[in-house]
Amino acid sequence: MALQLQLTYAGWLKPSVGGLWDPSDGVTVKSPMLFPTESATETLKVAGYAYTQDVNAGTTTTLDLINTLAWEQRKGDATKNDGFYDLGNAPAQPEAAT
């Protein structure tokens, strides 16, 4: 099953290791709610990241994480949509009245 999730934390650098993120870095996520297994962990890859600063919240990093199956689907020959990010949303419609 292909899996994608987004994680946000305070700070610029990788926790415990330091340095900035690179695409395809491995990340071990521990969450008994998301991964109901004995270890409650899953190793995911970084598909994207964003660094932001806010006057109130300070510096944050948001990671887009995907599992190996999603990474392999995404990294194919990149000439056609593999359907993983295609949510099937209808086109935006103008408002009738405000």
Write out 16-64 in H/E/C secondary structure. CCCCCCCCCCEEEEECCCCCCCCCCEEEEEEEEEEEEEECCCEEEEEEE
pLDDT tens track for 39-90: 999 888 888 899 999 888 799 999 999 887 777 776 555 555 555 445 455 6
Q: How far is CA 57 from CA 46, 49, 69, 71, 94, in A?
A: 23, 18, 34, 31, 34
DSSP annotation of 75 reads T
State if pTM tops 0.95: no
CA trace torsion 12, 15, 19, 22 (10° rounding): -90
What is the reported pLDDT for 52? Answer: 93
CA trace torsion 14, 17, 22, 24 (10° rounding): -100
